[in-house]
Amino acid sequence: MGLLSDFGLEDVAVQFARVPMFPIFDLMHYTLSIMYLKHEAGVVDLSRRSPITCWVCSMLCCFGGGMLAAAMLGEPILDPFESNINVFLASVIWYMVFYFPKDLYYRLCSLLPVKLFVVASKEVTRVRKIAAGVAHAHHVYKRGYVVMVAVGIAKGAGSGLLANLEQLLRGVWKPNTNELLNMSFPTKATLLGAVLFTVEAAGWLPLSEEFLILIVTIFLVTTKVTLTAMHSHASPFDPIETPLCGFLFGAAPPDSDGHGHGQSSSGPAAPAQQGKAEPTEPALRKRKSKKAE
Amino acid sequence: MGLLSDFGLEDVAVQFARVPMFPIFDLMHYTLSIMYLKHEAGVVDLSRRSPITCWVCSMLCCFGGGMLAAAMLGEPILDPFESNINVFLASVIWYMVFYFPKDLYYRLCSLLPVKLFVVASKEVTRVRKIAAGVAHAHHVYKRGYVVMVAVGIAKGAGSGLLANLEQLLRGVWKPNTNELLNMSFPTKATLLGAVLFTVEAAGWLPLSEEFLILIVTIFLVTTKVTLTAMHSHASPFDPIETPLCGFLFGAAPPDSDGHGHGQSSSGPAAPAQQGKAEPTEPALRKRKSKKAE
Amino acid sequence: MGLLSDFGLEDVAVQFARVPMFPIFDLMHYTLSIMYLKHEAGVVDLSRRSPITCWVCSMLCCFGGGMLAAAMLGEPILDPFESNINVFLASVIWYMVFYFPKDLYYRLCSLLPVKLFVVASKEVTRVRKIAAGVAHAHHVYKRGYVVMVAVGIAKGAGSGLLANLEQLLRGVWKPNTNELLNMSFPTKATLLGAVLFTVEAAGWLPLSEEFLILIVTIFLVTTKVTLTAMHSHASPFDPIETPLCGFLFGAAPPDSDGHGHGQSSSGPAAPAQQGKAEPTEPALRKRKSKKAE
């Protein structure tokens, strides 16, 4: 800490933590969330047939994390809608993404330089939300570490976790995949971030919360912007994840085709029809991971 | 207001707002809700095979709105079951609708004159619930207009919105339709009513809440009774809705078959497989709208 | 009561009610819950592909009852995760059930004598949970008898009721069956127990809560151990249930094939396509009832 202060990094972190999310960063978050919704199959059609459903799904994409976190903590799930100005801005963005003449807003934001800025802004808001979620849960449960991690994840990656519900609202049902089963990179990063903020809140980390926000933000923004620029959906965690999973759980992570080799150690009670209900479809995962960004 | 008082309308409104819903109107609400449930495919069979599931589904149809509103505001979702007498009456109605000798109760209530009275009574309770929902949300969030509208809708049309959950409890799953995607007339009227009561609660309307209850009730009761008498499921909002949707969202509302013409403006990112997941089936909508009445 | 005291039964009951559930009984509950999860089709495979999903599903099996009860009472649904030591123990059991070398832990607990002990312990914790659930609801709603029964059932048999959600998390969707529609013996016993504890809490039973815990525990443990030892999934309630259902609801309970005879009394409005969506599959029920134990 002393060293950090000498380099002035601590000051930078404190300054950065004071940058308000409203309105620019929030607007970018709404824009990207609703753009990903529009990207889904059938949604453009839905926006003509049932604008209300389209609006409700868009709000779920924008505020789903806060709703899930509120439900987890027994608070009103409509809490995120208390702020009229935020709902109004999200609604304006919704209208612009879906109904702007000649689709100009969507096209503009799809241009790579603009998109990189939007993506970076969204990750900035995500880290703030993780930190806020952990802090909020810490306020309610002083020592409930699992609750703190869970609420942090919910706030940071909630709309991805609620994707099945959001799809159901617009009449689409894909039960054989979800964000938990096929975690995208942002969700994994959110999990890691939530653990870090929980460790910090528990007082086991020699770093201030502001500093942690800064470094997690730098990591997430650079990684996500790089991945977006390269049109890649690979996860930078794979090199660590694969051997770690192999060591801890005796198996390769999702991408491998080694369905069979775990069978032998599963005992006599293991059912015969394994691996039928959950196909590992790379194409499915790719579309999914795009969604949850 | 002065004018209204001169005609004595304000007095009528105050008197009308004092008419208690318990027990007559509540009983009619339970009767119609459970009759619509019995009308669903497979439910009569279910009532023989699993009376408990049938009872739970019936309670969800009767009290679903209150449960959804409670969940939205972070209150116990079992709140509507606190009142033993109401649960008891709803259970008696459930028993009479499903198990009365020779099905006499159901047949009696299906006679047109009786049915019109039951339908009218249910709409009377609906308007009260919308008003109560908005007032309750207003009490919690002084300026949360979106929350107020949402809770008003939940209380007034909640069991329709929970139809997918209610179906799931009895082993039926129809993901490609829901009350949000294919709004029935009562749900649309509930939305309009919730907006009006919210505007009134915000102090932007030169009308008292009592007066608003009176006129919304008159509108809903007359429209719904007329529709029921004519066996019609048309929505009186269509003449306004069609041009308005066309102006705001560049498309005809749900009923039109114009799936294609919105395509051109959807930009290069629009997916190719649009309009596949959500078929517009008029037959489906008809059955659905019956359900949500 | 005087008689009971003379025999010293009341003392035994008080002593028994003081036996702490933590850690032995809780551990046995976690073990059996996670063993039943591992027994499900595809879960061993899932434990290799997505350990996180497997862990979340396991926690839902262990703590689902508490979560459901908390949701019903408007409390934080993550409440059961406040206790770090319980979550830690459940996680250790999860790891041992799924990843122990040579599957030794699972095999050990599957041996009949060990399994009977585990089954008995789980039923002991179940009765405590029912009593705690009813008492908690009684604390919130003094006279809300339906709420008290519902929360008691949720706490005692909640993870069975949440089975559809738990399956969805791991990408499996079986909408045409659930624990409400095809109640297993433990769920029925939980319902009966919840009613008894509610009657006691209302002061209508000349028995102390401790005594009721003792006799319900004795009934559940002996019945469940006998059924497990005999590899039977029959319900001891059938001899009472069948005639009672026949008398009250004019039909035989679920197992009968008498789909047709109820038709005649269902009136003109009864739909034609009854009994199509919900097949009565004995095989399905058997697997299901295993799950919910």
Write the ipTM.
0.85
Question: What is the distance between the alpha carbons of residues C252 and B26, in angstroms, rounded to a whole number?
Answer: 32
Residues in chain C: 293
Chain C: partners with 3+ C-beta pairs within 8 Å: A, B
Q: Residue type for A13, please?
A: A
Q: Is the pLDDT of residue C23 over 70?
A: yes
Please answer whether residues C80 and C66 qualify as being in contact, where contact means their C-beta atoms are separated by less than 8 angstroms: yes
- Lookup: tokens for B240: 């306004």
Nearest-by-Cβ selection for A107 from B151, B182, B267:
B267
Rounded to 5 degrees, what are φ and ψ at A165? -65, -45
Q: What is the pLDDT of residue A95?
A: 97
- Give the model's confidence band at C110: pLDDT under 50 very low, under 70 low, under 90 confident, else very high: very high
Query: From the CB of residue A220, how many other CB atoms can be counted at a distance below 10 Å?
Result: 24
Q: What is the pLDDT of residue C267?
A: 37
> What mean pLDDT, rounded, does chain A reach?
86
Tell me B173's DSSP state: -
SS3 at position B289: helix
Contacts of B56 in chain C (CB under 8 A): 180
Tell me A82's DSSP state: S
Question: What is the distance between the alpha carbons of residues C195 and C145, in angstroms, rounded to a whole number?
Answer: 9
Return the residue of B nearest to C163 by Cα: B169
Complete DSSP assignment for chain C: -HHHHHHTHHHHHHHHHHS--TTHHHHHHHHHHHHHHHHSTTHHHHHHH-HHHHHHHHHHHHHHHHHHHHHHTTS-TTGGGS-HHHHHHHHHHHHHHHHSGGGHHHHHHHSHHHHHHHHHHHHHHHHHHHHHHHHHHHHH-TT-HHHHHHHHHHHHHHHHHTHHHHHHHTT---TT--TTTT--HHHHHHHHHHHHHHHHHTT-SSS-HHHHHHHHHHHHHHHHHHHHHTT----TTHHHHHHHHHHHHSS--TT----STTGGGG-TT--SSTTSSS---HHHHHHHHHHH-
Counting runs of H as helices and runs of E as strands, what totals does chain B give? Answer: 14, 0
Nearest-by-Cβ selection for C259 from B45, B50, B78:
B45
Higher-pLDDT residue of C267 and A248 is A248
pTM comes to 0.87
Q: What is the pLDDT of residue C233?
A: 81
SS3 at position A32: helix
pLDDT tens by residue, C159-209? 999 999 999 999 999 999 999 999 999 999 999 999 999 999 999 999 999
Question: What is the distance between the alpha carbons of residues A126 and A147, in angstroms, rounded to a whole number?
Answer: 18
Q: Is the pLDDT of residue A270 over 50?
A: no
CA-based torsion, B263, B268, B274, B280: positive or negative: negative
CA atoms within a 13 Å half-sphere pointing along the CA-CB vector of B122:
29
Mean per-residue pLDDT, A75-94: 96
Q: Which residue of A44, A78, A100, A118 is the best one to mutate when testing the B interface, meaning the one whose CB has the most B CBs within 10 A?
A: A78
Query: From the CB of residue A49, how many other CB atoms can be counted at a distance below 10 Å?
Result: 27
Q: Which residue of A143, A148, A181 is the best one to mutate when testing the C interface, meaning the one whose CB has the most C CBs within 10 A?
A: A181
Point out the residues of chain B with pLDDT beneath 50.
Answer: 1-2, 254-293
Complete DSSP assignment for B106-142: HHHHHSHHHHHHHHHHHHHHHHHHHHHHHHHHHHH-T
Kindly state the percentage of chain A with pLDDT values over 70.
Answer: 83
Q: Residue type for A93, please?
A: I
Residues of C in CB contact (< 8 Å) with A are 38-42, 44-53, 56, 70, 74-79, 81-82, 84, 87, 98-99, 102-103, 106-107, 110, 168-173
Would you give the end-to-end CA distance of chain B in angstroms?
33
- Lookup: tokens for B64: 């679903």
Please answer whether residues C32 and C118 qualify as being in contact, where contact means their C-beta atoms are separated by less than 8 angstroms: yes
